Structure 1
Amino acid sequence: MADNLFTMLSAYRPGSTATPFENYCTAGLAYFLKRGHRMLTALIAHAAGLGSDPLALVEVQPRLAEAGVADLLLTYEGGKRVLIEVQVEPGADESLLPGMEAVAREWSERPAFLMLGLRSEGVPDPWIPLTWFDVVDALDGDPDPVARQYHDFILEDILGTGEVPLEEALSTNRLYAIGGAAIRRAFGTGSRYINSASRPLHGQYRYLGTTFTPDGGDMTYWIGLVNETVPLGEHYHLMLASKEKPLLFPVEQPRATGDWKWAHWTGMGRVVRPITPMQYEGLLERIKAR
């Protein structure tokens, strides 16, 4: 793959199960590995249980025979390899992993399997967990301005640690990241969630947010932005919805979600300032009998 950062970010291999955003995150990581970033290289070598052999080749979305397209494959000068599965949200498609493992085991030297994502434990064998927080730590304090931007991108767009202005909430992954992080903090590892949004119309959404379950059951809660008016306008409200159970401080169902059969709604009012993780946490506190 090309060494140019922007060429790497725009590349995409047909047949990959990675989302464009996941591929973007993977390409960013590969860029710094190809440039020999010392701390990132050491992080991966340590997690994979490798020695000090220099990294020789970084492959983004390599095809592993008939098993499909992997996310990242690293080859070291001594011949050792590390296969990396990259995930940016829970519930990622892992159906191709057994086939990739089978192909990799046929190599002359058994590779290491790393799963870079949000989980620090509970990944399927033989994968070794590595988190995006580990990557942030490896990038922390780097004087390179591009590395600092990638560091901040991971924190805000993947891990959901920062506030987000409305315009960016509607056009980046940052609102989804805030929602996912708030749900994980509130309900722990038993929670599940998916990003969910209406189809945009003239640049506006009816709704944009996260459908989730606090306890691993059916996904009967939703949190995010709802357009204030129909026809759609430029103003949004930050809201929480429940399909079955009442919520604290209830409000009427917004018109923009009129086709939803969800009876219970609560909200923070019109968004006039950047959306914060604290606002999300405050809404999640309105779920009764947690």
Structure 2
Amino acid sequence: MGKLALAAKITHVPSMYLSEMPGKHFGCRQAAIDGHKEIGRRCRELGVDTIIVFDTHWLVNSAYHINCTDHFAGVYTSHELPHFIRDMRYEYDGNPELGNMIAEEACTAGVRAQAHNIPSLDLEYGTLVPMRYMNEDRHFKVISISAFCTVHAFEDSRKMGEAILRAIEKYNGTVAVLASGSLSHRFIDDQRAEQGMHSYTREFDHQMDERVVKLWKEGRFKEFCEMLPEYAQYCFGEGNMHDTVMLLGMLGWDKYDGEVEFITDLFASSGTGQVNAVFPLPARLAA
């Protein structure tokens, strides 16, 4: 019988990699990096063998896709922000067994999902950045699931989350799941990019993110799930926040009432709102 051991909503801002580099931005994202390392430490302590990442940088225009290739290796430069992430080397092992189980469960639930073991299907930085800090020794197997879903219904993403949990429970191992994406995600205007690297684009987004953090800390997910479609729309949620929908689908949707622990407090990055937050598992899963 498999086990879900940890669930979290995490940042993957590329300025974390930039923060490693000598220069004026050195150390600027240390708190976010430390948050990733703490989550990785907890996964090790809990006996996790595989980390599933809902990647809001993996854009898909049809179906839900699961990258469960046997082995990932390469050198990554961001097309979007090559001045932030350049020549980042990576190597991880995949988990085709669990990836195929997820696809099977999702299809049974009526969700159009496909699992892929394609060596040329590279990972996106929504997966690569957190794995850099959580999994540098290749301790965990990695599965990446598309979460920048351009034509997908929230209802299907919720069902996808439920299917992932069913697959984990049938898997002979221990799994952590990370929803990799921002809260609000309105990038700062280009001419203000340098001075706004640690600021919000709009105070409206800042205030909405603060409200969401409060709801999460208090376990008020009935209210949050009701507001989520408008929140994702009005505050430009990354990937339309399908990663968050899948995460909450897995945990019980609006019945979930866990009081979220913020490992890295809310911070602004190039106009967007970011956190590292661990979602306590419901009692039936934590046993």
Larger Rg: 1
User: What range describes the TM-score normalised by the shorter chain of this pair?
Assistant: under 0.3
TM-score normalised by L of structure 1 = 0.24
